[in-house]
Chains A and B, each alone.
Chain A
Amino acid sequence: MFARALLRYLFPLIALVLTLFALVDSAHALNAAQARSLAVGEVEQRVAALNALLANADDKTVALLQAISDDAVKFTDSALFVMKDGKGFDPVTGAEAKVPEAAEDVINNNEMRNELEAALATTKLFSADDKVRAEAVKTLAGEPDEKKLPLIEKAFAAEAQPAIKEALARLRSAMLLGSTDKAKRLEAAQALAATGTPTTKTLLLDRMKVETEPEVKVALEAALKSIEGRLAWGERAGVVFTGISLGSILLLVALGLAITYGLMGVINMAHGELMMIGAYATYVVQNLFRTYLPGGFDAYILAAIPASFLVAALVGAVLERGVIRWLYGRPLETLLATWGISLMLQQLVRTIFGAQNVPVENPSWLSGGVAVASNLTLPFNRIAIIVFALLVLAGVALMIARTRLGLFVRGVTQNRKMAACMGVNTARIDTYAFALGSGIAGLAGCALSQVGNVGPDLGQGYIVDSFMVVVLGGVGQLAGTVYAAVGLGVLNKLLEGWQGAVLAKIMVLVFIVIFIQKRPQGIFAMKGRSAES
């Protein structure tokens, strides 16, 4: 009898417990209908289903969302299949199922993709890993969506890390900006004033267009002003950085020219082509590394630097010995002769490498950049070039000031005849100095290959600028070249932001012509009796 009572009450009890379990479980567990609503149907319905499921998402839901996002789900009229390694799996049970031929792919449009991305980010909000949570907040901050607010509130309450909590607070404010409650909007506007990202600015601007409450409008304007102030600093710093970067490139380009011009009074119109030769030497070294040493590709730039220096220096030495030395004392003819050489060098490169640009890749440690502010990223390759230019400048200054060769170069620059009387072989010094100047041009070409295109007309773009630096900076001292190069670079970029690239260049050229009126010998002039002539 006891057994009969047990059976009478036990089974319902078990059934009840099981049902209870089932009920509790179904609040979390993915069922087939829900899975289907995520994958099949109109985008709006799918998004609604997505948001409904997000509140209590379990691992299976997350997995399905990831699979849909990865375009790895197929469906038929009755079933859904998650594809993995060519096999189909049921999203609810995880069991393998045969995928019929007629199964179609689940397609996501851009809106769906964005929603999926945001949804997956929300699920990551509760991950145990700090980094994953921070990434998730960043992804969600890109497109604040009010529908996710309850989840964000939950995450905010549960968050322990202060940095992530702050990010979540900002996100919360961004979402609250569109709330129907005026007080909440006011609070959100004031909270957002403390941020400084371009996305927040866009958010505030959009809200300003539709806002009706005057109080909130005032708060929004105040917030916008403070954000714009903060962003302006980023922009100004960006302009200064680009100016310094351009200045460092101009410095490399003009340094060699300044040395040869100061020494021999020769403006070398083939200087641009020597740079081009350095850039092509870098290209060749890159290809050699790619063919013979692919593992060490990232180090190719370290081999390319001496290679471009040597090749350009060699070409320069040949030029000096073969052509320029016969035109000593005739600077205008040297201009023309070196122009002829530049034509021939360009055509030579076109014949060997083709007239198109050639691809030169940055090694991986030079790619990318460091984000200094929300609207300012400093690229690594430009930072490297600034450092490189400073190193080259230091090297050249050291060489000129401390070595015997530098001593002779200085002597010949100041008074050629006297130096010859003192036993300096001026002809040989000419060759060495010209080779040095050309080698530096080669280094400039190597640097340029990392930030710009490499083609036969690489040099033509920088010739006029390098001449301007030399004319402005004066000859005889390296300091003039440095100041002129950096000054022109920054001035150019400042004017560019104001008037556009072409007018900026024209204004810089006009400025130089006017400056030369006042001070024809440049910023730093050689002093002394032999200086005039």
Chain B
Amino acid sequence: MSAVLSTPMAVPLPAGGILTGKSWSAVFTAIVVVAVLVPVLNLMTPADSALHLSDYAVQLIAKIMCYAISALAMDLIWGYTGILSLGHGVFFALGGYCMGMYLMRQIGSDGQYRLPMPDFMVFLNWKQFPWTWAVSDSFAAQMLLVVLVPGLLAFVFGFFAFRSRIKGVYFSIITQAMTYAAMLLFFRNETGFGGNNGFTDFKRILGTPIATPSMRMLLFVITGLTLIGFFLLAKWLVTSKFGRVLQAIRDAETRVMFTGYDPLRYKLAIWVISAVMCGIAGALYVPQVGIINPGEMSPAASIEIAIWAAVGGRGTLIGPIIGAFFVNGAKSWFTQAFPEFWLYFLGALFIAVTIFLPQGIIGLVRRKKEGP
């Protein structure tokens, strides 16, 4: 089972800085679009105008942007370090749950039972909050947890896994086991996170109502800027020496060890960074979509993250973002137009991308550019 080099693309080191001038202007345009254009098109144009961006479209794009952040995180560990994780959904979901806990507390006494505890706790006859909810009242503390909880889980899991040099397929399978176990745990009512219903019916965030167009737009802008920010962060990481070592680990780990680097530190570092990115993506996802449940932790959800990265083009950073938009856009369209065919399309996408398009969409574009 020797690892034949499947050929992800090398990252060209630009002369100075992390991006070329053309790329910087593209980034700037993206910031303008996200922070200025979309709010204008949604909030300021009248509803019947051709230029109006509907609320539904805004929510869909925001959701896909959160997914794009996860795909970016997946690219960092898979495209650049060669670690395929089939359990990244658990980090996404954990970040989402942390945010969800805060939002549930913000419902206050407006729930079905008119008590200061969330409905599902009243239903379970609990009189006090469990220890996991100790700081759920404070926004700052919960946001810290959004970073700490996925990060800590990733650190512990990654430390033990990488230390015993579990690689390749074995590693992917135990990440799948990890997310499966977490999903089972969160499905139980006794775990204290809403059981199979999860958290929903959010009312407020930081005191302001959550369902208003302005709050929605604010969350959209924050998500967009976070995506762009993470993209720049990732670009900086992979063009640095750290990034070069990561790619070396992907291509020839044993040789890296012989050259004197300890792969454990690098792998663990990127693994935790990637997990935290997913956690933040989850935290941004929940107030916009309005619900979080253990289904987000299912192995199927995690495997989909991998396919977004693969479709877009591994090892390119921009590829997975494109991939996330493409696949989720297709999913949105299929599930409305031809729901029975969505799974056929997705399955065929998995097969086609792995056999015919190992470089993904970006690879296709680059091949076309290079000419026949």
B-contacting residues of A (Cβ < 8 Å)? 265, 267, 323, 326-327, 329-337, 339-344, 346-348, 350-351, 463-464, 467-468, 471, 502, 505-506, 509-510, 512-514, 516-518, 520, 533
Known A347-B340, A516-B174: A332·B347 in contact at CB below 8 Å? no
Minimal beta-carbon separation of A141 from chain B (angstroms): 39
Tell me whether A512 and B177 are in contact (CB under 8 A): yes
B23-31, B32-40, B351-359 - interface stretch: B351-359
B358/A333 in contact, CB under 8 A = yes
- Give the contacting residue for B177; candidates A326, A335, A336, A468; CB below 8 A: A468
Within 8 Å by CB of A336, from B1, B299, B307, B343, lies B307
Query: Does A520 contact B343, Cβ atoms closer than 8 Å?
Result: no
A509 and B180 contact, CB distance less than 8 A? yes
**A330–B169 alpha-carbon span in the complex (Å):** 10
A219 to B343: give the CA distance in the assembly, Å: 67
Distance from B31 Cβ to chain A, minimum over Cβ atoms (Å)? 33
Does B4 contact A330, Cβ atoms closer than 8 Å? yes
Interface pair B351/A323, CB less than 8 Å apart: yes
Report Cα–Cα, A20/B7, bound state, in Å: 112
- Among A265, A337, A463, A509, which residue has its beta carbon within 8 angstroms of that of B355? A337
Instruction: Report the minimal beta-carbon distance from A409 to chain B, rounded to whole angstroms.
Output: 16
Given the interface pairs A332-B169, A336-B306, A513-B160, the reply to whether A343 lies near B347 with Cβ below 8 Å is yes
Minimum Cβ distance to chain A for residue B257 (Å): 14
Q: Which residues on A sit within 8 Å (CB–CB) of B174?
A: 471, 512-513, 516
12 contacts between A and B (CB under 8 A): A323-B351, A332-B168, A335-B84, A336-B310, A340-B347, A343-B350, A464-B176, A506-B185, A509-B177, A516-B166, A520-B166, A533-B1
B344 at the interface (CB under 8 A from A): yes
B170:A351 contact, CB within 8 angstroms: no
Q: Is the CB of A464 within 8 A of B180?
A: yes
Whether B350 lies near A471 (C-beta < 8 A) is no
Residues from chain A with a CB closer than 8 A to the CB of B358 are: 333
B4 engages A471 (CB within 8 Å): no
Q: A509 contacts B181, CB within 8 Å?
A: yes
Contact between chains at A517 and B355 (CB < 8 Å)? no
- State the CA gap A510–B303 with chains docked (Å): 21
8 pairs of A and B residues whose beta carbons are closest in the complex? A340-B350, A344-B347, A265-B1, A343-B347, A329-B4, A347-B343, A340-B347, A333-B354
Chain B contacts for A467, CB-based, 8 A: 173, 176-177
CA distance A332 to B314 in the complex (A): 13
Other than the known A342-B347, A468-B177, what 16 A-B pairs have Cβ atoms closer than 8 Å?
A330-B4, A331-B168, A331-B169, A335-B169, A336-B303, A336-B307, A336-B310, A336-B353, A343-B346, A347-B340, A471-B170, A502-B184, A502-B185, A505-B181, A506-B185, A513-B160
Near A by CB (< 8 A), chain B positions 312-353 give 340, 343-344, 346-351, 353
> Does B6 sit at the interface, judged by CB under 8 A?
yes
Assembled-state Cα–Cα distance A265/B167 (Å): 13
Please judge, given known A-B contacts A467-B176, A506-B181, A516-B170, whether A344 and B160 are in contact too, CB under 8 Å: no
Residues of B within 8 A of A347 (CB): 340, 343-344, 347
Which residues in window 1-33 of B have CB below 8 A to A?
A: 1-4, 6
Partner of A502, one of B86, B178, B188, B299: B188
A471 to B170, CA, bound (A): 7
Indicate if the CB atoms of A343 and B343 lie closer than 8 Å: yes
Q: Does B197 contact A (CB under 8 A)?
A: no
In the bound complex, how far is the Cα of B302 from the Cα of A339, in angstroms? 12
Taking a contact as CB atoms under 8 Å apart, the answer to whether B2 and A517 are in contact is no
Distance in Å from the Cβ of A202 to the closest Cβ of chain B? 29
- The verdict on B187 contacting chain A, using a C-beta distance below 8 Å, is yes
Question: Which residues of A have CB within 8 Å of B160?
Answer: 513-514, 517
Q: Is the interface of A mostly helix, strand, loop or mixed?
A: helix
B354:A267 contact, CB within 8 angstroms: no
Q: Do B343 and A323 touch (CB < 8 A)?
A: no
A341 proximity list for chain B (CB < 8 A): 347, 350-351
A16 to B340, CA, bound (A): 93
Q: How far is the CA of A280 from the CA of B27 in the complex (A)?
A: 53
B59 close to A (CB within 8 Å):
no
What separation, in Å, do the CA atoms of A502 and B303 have in the docked complex? 23
B178 lies within 8 A of A509 (CB): yes
List chain B residues, Cβ under 8 A from A339.
303, 350
Nearest A residue to B185 via CB reads A506
Chain B residues 220 to 253 lying within 8 A of chain A, measured CB to CB, are none
**Distance (Å) between the CB of A502 and the closest chain B CB?**
5
Within 134-174 of B, Cβ neighbours of A (below 8 Å) are at: 160-161, 163-166, 168-170, 172-174
Bound CA span A240–B12, Å: 60
Contact, CB under 8 Å: B172 / A332: yes
Q: Which residues of A contact B84 (CB under 8 A)?
A: 332, 335
Asked if A533 and B2 make an inter-chain contact with CB atoms under 8 angstroms apart, the answer reads yes
Q: CB-nearest residue of chain A relative to B165? A: A520
Q: In the complex, are the beta carbons of B344 and A344 less than 8 A apart?
A: yes
B19 → chain A closest CB, angstroms: 29
The closest CB in chain A to the CB of B167 belongs to: A520
The answer to whether A333 touches B180 (Cβ under 8 A) is: no
Indicate which residue in A340, A506, A514 contacts B349 across the interface (CB closer than 8 Å).
A340
Contacts of A506 on B, CB cut-off 8 Å? Answer: 181, 184-185
Q: Which residues of A are found within 8 Å of B355, using beta-carbon distances?
A: 323, 326-327, 337
Instruction: Say how far A459's CB is from chain B's closest CB, in angstroms.
Output: 12
A43–B358 alpha-carbon span in the complex (Å): 80
Residues on A with C-beta less than 8 A from B176 are 464, 467
Bound Cα distance A52, B354 (Å): 84
Nearest-neighbor residue (CB-CB) of B86 within chain A: A335
Cβ–Cβ < 8 Å partners of B349 in chain A = 340
Interface centre among A265, A343, A350, A463 (most CB of B within 10 A): A343
Bound complex: CA A97 to CA B310 (Å): 87
Give chain B residues whose Cβ lies under 8 Å from the Cβ of A343: 343-344, 346-347, 350
CA distance A174 to B351 in the complex (A): 69
CA distance A331 to B172 in the complex (A): 11
Q: How far is the CB of A357 from chain B (nearest CB, A)?
A: 18
Give chain B residues whose Cβ lies under 8 Å from the Cβ of A468: 173, 177
Chain B residue nearest in CB terms to A348: B344
Chain A residues contacting B310 (CB-CB under 8 Å) are: 336
Q: What's the least CB distance linking B156 to chain A, in Å?
A: 11
How distant is the Cα of A339 from the Cα of B188 in the complex, in angstroms?
Answer: 27
**B343 to A330, Cβ gap below 8 A?**
no
Q: State the CA gap A337–B358 with chains docked (Å).
A: 11
Let me know if A505 and B184 touch, CB within 8 A.
yes
